[in-house]
Amino acid sequence: MDTLFQPYRLNGTLTLANRFMMAPLTRCMAGPGLVPTEQMAAYYGRRADIGLIISEATIIRPDGQGYPNTPGIYSPEQIAGWKQVTEAVHAKGGKIFAQLWHVGRLSHPFFHHAEVLAPSAVAHEGTVPRMRELVYQVPRALTVAEIGQLVEDYAQAAANAIEAGFDGVEIHGANGYLIDQFLHHSSNLRTDQYGQTPENMSRFALEVVDAINARIGSERVGLRLSPGAYVHLAGSPADRAVFDHLLAELNKRALAYLHLGIFDDSLTFDYLDGRASDYLRAHYDGHLVGVGNYSAETASEAIKADRFDLVAIGRPLIANPDYLSKLKAAEPLVPYSEAMLAELV
């Protein structure tokens, strides 16, 4: 596993201490006003030896919230709270990106007393996690003007992240949330310039990428994508053409990396000809982050086989703040359990 512990150069301004990343892990532990807390700063600081920490998904504006107590990055108080986090990570020599998030149709008026907005008026069936009494509602389809405002809000959130001391941002375009809802036919029924064709369905994602790149510099921008619909969405064979086009366009742009969004990378998708990670590797030319139930051993094998360049670790890092030191010492890892979600350790 020596390769995993070697420095990795993402670009001319960012070299990681190793090939491990901390996957974004929603913990629902923000304080009043969705402000990050000192406890969160200590939590991230304890994991600062990871090559790059990706923060828990962070709301770009109030109507982007879909879970209780998830942090935002749109108010001065939230920016100040995140400064505590980034300072804790940097004090130990670490690097951290903020993951920028809007949940789209997976929101609920309970959180913000406003309409739920999405590409199309198609509800997600089910109830809000951790608040099962809340049933998802039929969203209102965004107007073209509102889509333009969202692009600006993403760019402002990225600027806020840099003000808060983050080393960069990861755009959350995966897991069935707002950007991903534009990219799949089951959730995008639009007939305007944001729907129907691969070019149109990719437009919003590319506008967000371009706006953030222009605001903070492409070397500070990553993107997470889920070409295989596996959560919050139904997949369609027609989705393949959307992602073929999107990835071809991303190859014309600079990004720090592309990050697969999936819980288990052993899943296969007929319309992707197999695993989503292999599909991304075949179609994207830049740095690729693998994720989805990898151990250090299986990640090392995948990297040696050139399936991806870095690996994001999730639940094992919740259970083991000292994950890297345990690996180096060949010590057993503490198994993850859902009970661990009750507190930040």
Choosing from 44, 136, 177, 194, the catalytic residue is 177
- Examine the residue annotation and report whether 43 is marked as an active-site residue of this protein: no
**What does 120-137 look like in DSSP terms, one character per residue?**
SS-PPPSEETTEEEEEP-
b/e map of 164-173 (b: 16 or more CB within 10 Å)? bbbbbbbbbb
Q: By C-alpha distance, which of 224, 263, 262 is closest to 98? A: 224
- Residue 161 to residue 166: CA distance in whole angstroms: 6
Distances (CA, A) of 217 to 114, 185, 227, 228: 33, 31, 25, 28
For residue 268, the surrounding DSSP H or E stretch is strand 268-269
303-322 core/surface letters (b: 16 or more CB in 10 A; e: else): beeebbbbbbbbbbbbebbb
Which residues are known to be catalytic?
177
